[in-house]
Copies of this chain bind each other. A is one copy, B any other.
Amino acid sequence: MPRLLALACALLLAACAAAPAGDPMAGPLTLQSQGSFFIGGRAVHSDTLSTLPAYAPSGTVAVDQMYVRQMTPPNASPLNVTLIHGCCLTGKTWETTPDGRMGWDEYFVRRGFATYVVDQTWRGRSAGDIQAINAVRLGRAPATALPTVFAAGREAAWAIFRFGDQYPQTNPGLRFPLAAQEEFWKQMVPDWLNAQPTPNPTVPALGELSRRLGRNVLISHSQSGIYPFQAVAQNPAGIAAVIAVEPGACPNAAADVTPYLHTPMLVVWGDYVPQAPRWAPRLVNCRAFVAKVVAAGGKAEQLVLPERGIHGNSHMLMQDDNSLQIAGMLVDWIGANAR
């Protein structure tokens, strides 16, 4: 009898699932699966792992691996989405916004995409290499051997994130939820990018993840903006499209753009860019890159939100008050363009 009831329920549920859907943004979130894993990494042997008696100084550790967390909806699209954070941040970027709204991680799942959120190598849950710190502490290396690491203070980050020209002045019409800024500053972590080789080990890891997934849309932000382009240049297999959200750099428009001609690409910009000394030339360079790709027969586009009548977006547009509207535009672009 319970088995018969279960069967009846399964049939009814299937019928209801086929019924006109309600708002996919409302109600419980159903996942076919969720979980996490690592991509890449290498074993390193060191004699300066520890200065403490309780832990051996010599041994083998894994570094350069990339942490990946996934959520997959039922009946997922064959296209997957991977979200790659920027400078001084982690995958937290894409989760719940500082003021408690839905992050892009959940949005893309609700729109039907298996969604992967990474921590760049040496950041967040992806281990960095600290052996040089202990070598200096033990007097076996000079202070100049210390790894390059920096933390972005809020006063300087303020202009970089385009909350305003200068801390604490605010850009007019700003959509970033500044009332929750304390929660945002807590998202920031030390950045070990400059202690790592170029291209960053995150780049081949993104390529490997894409080949494993088959059809992967790489969505980068800021510091990681160049990574998907570098991954395409290394091996475009599995990369269904690239969306660079306010990239720190696009590929050089003066160089050969042949590697980019078979991958659809979108570059997205928020507001206040022309007045921002750090960002204005980057937008110009990306526009030149996009134009050259298009002229050569590739598929590339630059989406400058103010040119579409959308104003007030900061550099952290995945956390601005219209973040889901922008994500929706990306979903539309993916549907029309991804391989």
Contacts and interface: CB of A to CB of B under 8 A. Distances in A.
A247 to B, nearest CB: 16
Given A41-B186, A156-B59, A188-B61, A16 B9 contact: yes
A28 B183 CA distance: 32
Interface in A31-55: 31-38, 41, 43, 46, 49-52, 55
A292 interface: no
A208 interface: no
Given A62-B188, A154-B61, A190-B127, A133 B106 contact: no
Interface in A115-165: 119, 124-131, 133-134, 136-137, 139, 143-144, 146-157
A134 B154 contact: no
A189 B125 contact: yes
Contacts of A37: 96, 100, 183
A149 B125 contact: no
A36 B6 CA distance: 35
A81 B275 CA distance: 48
A151 B61 contact: yes
A46 B152 CA distance: 11
Interface string A263-287: 0000000000000000000000000
A60 interface: yes
A103 interface: yes
Contacts of A127: 151, 186, 188-190
A321 interface: no
A75 B60 CA distance: 46
A185 B59 CA distance: 12
A166 interface: no
Given A13-B13, A35-B96, A65-B186, 7 more contacts: A28-B74, A29-B31, A35-B100, A52-B148, A56-B155, A125-B187, A131-B151
18 contacts: A6-B19, A9-B15, A9-B16, A12-B13, A30-B30, A34-B106, A35-B106, A36-B96, A43-B185, A49-B153, A50-B150, A50-B152, A56-B153, A62-B182, A126-B189, A127-B189, A133-B147, A137-B143
Interface of A: 2, 5-6, 9, 12-13, 15-16, 19-20, 22, 28-38, 41, 43, 46, 49-52, 55-56, 58-62, 65, 67, 69, 71, 74, 90-92, 95-96, 100, 102-103, 106, 119, 124-131, 133-134, 136-137, 139, 143-144, 146-157, 182-183, 185-190, 194
